[in-house]
Chain A
Amino acid sequence: MGGSGTSPARGRVVDLGMPEFPRGAARAVADSQLRFNLRKATHTIRGKRANVVAELPDWLELRAAGKAIKDHTLRNLDRYLIRLERAVTEAGGHVHWAADAAEANRIVTDLVKATGETSVVKVKSMATQEIGLNEALAEAGITAYETDLAELIVQLGDDRPSHILVPAIHRNRAEIREIFLDHMGEWGRPAPEGLTDEPRALAEAARLHLRERFLSTKVAISGANFMVAETGTLVVLESEGNGRMCLTLPETLISVVGIEKVVPTWRDLEVFLQLLPRSSTGERMNPYTSTWTGVTPGDGPREFHLVLLDNGRTDVLADEVGRQALRCIRCSACLNVCPVYERAGGHAYGSVYPGPIGAILTPQLRGMASPLDASLPYASSLCGACYDVCPVAIDIPTVLVHLRARAPHPPAERTLLRAASWVLARASRLAGVQRLASRLRRLIPRRAPGPLAAWTDTRDVPPVPKEPFRDWWDRTEGGAE
């Protein structure tokens, strides 16, 4: 769709240059401050979500409806995108099609350049992070200012987001105070002297800093949570009101949105406006829900551009099992409930999409050529907690197992598992191995060398019994004697 007309390119999701997941995760596991911050934050939000979901008697029906609407839309994506394009254009907006990250970045950069401005304000957006838009703009001499509080913390700290909803989840308030004091002045109005780490004081410092920015910047860039095809309306859900400032005050608004974000009608939107806040922030209703349709003379931006982003999504759509990842509404419920995310943190996933959804989305969008991407489908114990909480019923464990079959396997592992399957193909072979293990059982070391040390470093090995079950059964005729 759109673009060059050559075979669909793999998406280029920004690669954060991380080592493979187990190494990044091991580093995080050893960081006690990070462990404390993550445990506290994920357990709090996990509990809030569970409470507000439990109070809805029809939650499972809502979930099924969300899944069905997304599946229907994805099956007819070509039709709904064309309808959306027509509606946006009729409402006075301009629609651009971007096949990949480079094309999207080029379109946005050219649009900003055409306004003559050198700075933009940004609404929190996953799509623009996915394509590395801020970096692309910086290369063109344009400064992008993040206005979501947590994204501001990440930007000021020259850091990377570690959570979809709460990008600075890895930071506590003492760390945030230091970041504000040290770096706010470099980006604009400095933090007030004597700033404390009280949440109120921190929020006020950010408010004063950002307010100046909103009033002086003429171009805004956003993403969108949903796009309603029938009317060409874009929808952003946020908690702070900062997004709404960006969406209403500037003269030009540019929205970069993944093609899977379209829903057919406003009736469909209603389902997601219930599913998303309860799953995401654990709230019954979202605080700031902004909708806009093209341009309205005398009200809001005078110019509106929609950049529809593919960046690997049509490849994902072609995979019968993996395509369900495109139902994702970026609520982060799966991150908050994931025992692996809770201990590994977001950075170990090496992508703007961390946690269980990242483990299935990143390798599909980016491919599995790098060691990190090949390790992501294995970044899960397959405990299934993510599938249980997913508001659009993405069966993440099934997709993980599906991707594991396609991931490159280490040669030693492949040899070992093939040998195991040969042994297990016949009971006589298994019995032979069991008898050998029983005979050598006193020689099995408590601390194993090589790759098996991964087990024995922290766990004892169970003692091998004198005889396996099958030999006991034969000897005693099933214990009958």
Chain B
Amino acid sequence: MRVALFITCVNDTLFPQTGKAVVTLLRRLGCEVEFPRAQTCCGQMHLNTGYPRESLRLARHFVDVFAGYDAVVTPSGSCTAMVREQYPRLAHNPHFAAARSGARRLVPTRAGREFAAAVDEVASRVYDLTEFLIDVLEVEDVGAYFPHRVTYHPTCHSLRGLRLGDRPLRLLRAVRGLELVELPGAEECCGFGGTFAVKNPAVSAAMGTDKVRNVLDTGAEVLCAADNSCLMHIGGTLRRQRSGVRVMHIAEILAQTEGRA
């Protein structure tokens, strides 16, 4: 299976260890992993901050880069949701995609229709990592060993966007040595929300503090999630409070094996 890794701009720049873990894990499971060098960013920040045109430009780039792979795997629930849910909306919206004024309304041009078709084609083959493992590779036990007490935060886009359900938990339960503890109020947003974190800092920090209190209540050593942007916010709050709890992307846990832990 020809698998492309979409690392995401945040992971590429700030969390390369997550990308290395994904590569290690997928190779161990027999995938041939490629890293298309031209990739950059899905455009989620631009769209969600109110800049659909800039976002659309990045969407076009994404579709060019990732056309033709059997699967595109990404260690981010929110970037997956962006491509799978928002791209089609952007591409099929005549106000944004290439269109001309018809008799009564905007009508997509041929280029606009072709782009929409390309988006539909690529978007359906983009997977969040945990979803790819469970639904496509059909594995739960990835052969990992991680002898630590771990709690899991289901990020909003994994939970309510992609509806990942218990897929990440099934993967974690199969890790040898790992003690999984339930996070109270797990389904509540951590308060990151992209530019929300700086546009509404007081509310964002209050939400983050409540999330951190729940994490500390579990007595876990490690908080994991399927998205490093939420972990950057929760982890930044944990570190500021000198809490001693570390954050890890779920891929980094799943990549660890006995002797390497």
Contact = CB atoms under 8 A, between A and B. Distances in A.
A343 B203 contact: yes
B33 A421 contact: no
Contact of A458 (B15, B47, B192, B201): B201
Report, as a range, how many residues of chain B touch the other chain: 35 or more
Contact of A29 (B19, B192, B206): B206
Contact of B207 (A26, A343, A430, A467): A343
B213 interface: no
Given A467-B16, A469-B19, A22 B189 contact: no
Interface stretch (B117-125, B219-227, B229-237): B229-237
- With a 10 A CB-CB cut-off, give which of A26, A382, A433 has the most chain B CB atoms: A382
A215 B110 CA distance: 70
Contacts of A455: 197-198, 201, 236
Nearest to B247: A462
Given A339-B188, A383-B160, A401-B47, A459 B37 contact: no
Interface string B190-216: 011111111111111111110000000
A404 B86 CA distance: 15
B30 interface: no
B34 to A, nearest CB: 8
A21 B24 CA distance: 45
Given A378-B200, A382-B48, A427-B38, A458 B20 contact: no
Contacts of B33: 478
A82 interface: no
A467 B206 CA distance: 33
A454 B14 contact: no
Interface in A399-440: 401, 404-407, 409, 413-414, 417-418, 420-421, 424-427, 430, 433-434, 437
Contacts of A380: 193, 196
- With a 10 A CB-CB cut-off, give which of A344, A387, A417, A424 has the most chain B CB atoms: A424
Contacts of B204: 381
Contact of B58 (A404, A424, A457, A478): A424
A409 B48 CA distance: 13
Interface stretch (B5-13, B133-141, B174-182): B5-13
B198 A417 contact: no
Nearest to A403: B50
A425 B48 contact: no
Given A380-B196, A417-B46, A451-B198, A424 B9 contact: yes
A462 to B, nearest CB: 5
A433 to B, nearest CB: 8
Q: Which 7 A-B pairs have CB atoms at the shortest separation, nearest pair first?
A: A381-B193, A459-B236, A404-B50, A383-B189, A26-B202, A421-B54, A469-B16
Interface of B: 7, 9, 11-17, 19-20, 23-24, 33, 35, 37-41, 43, 45-52, 54-55, 57-58, 61, 89, 156-157, 160-161, 187-189, 191-209, 232-233, 235-237, 239-240
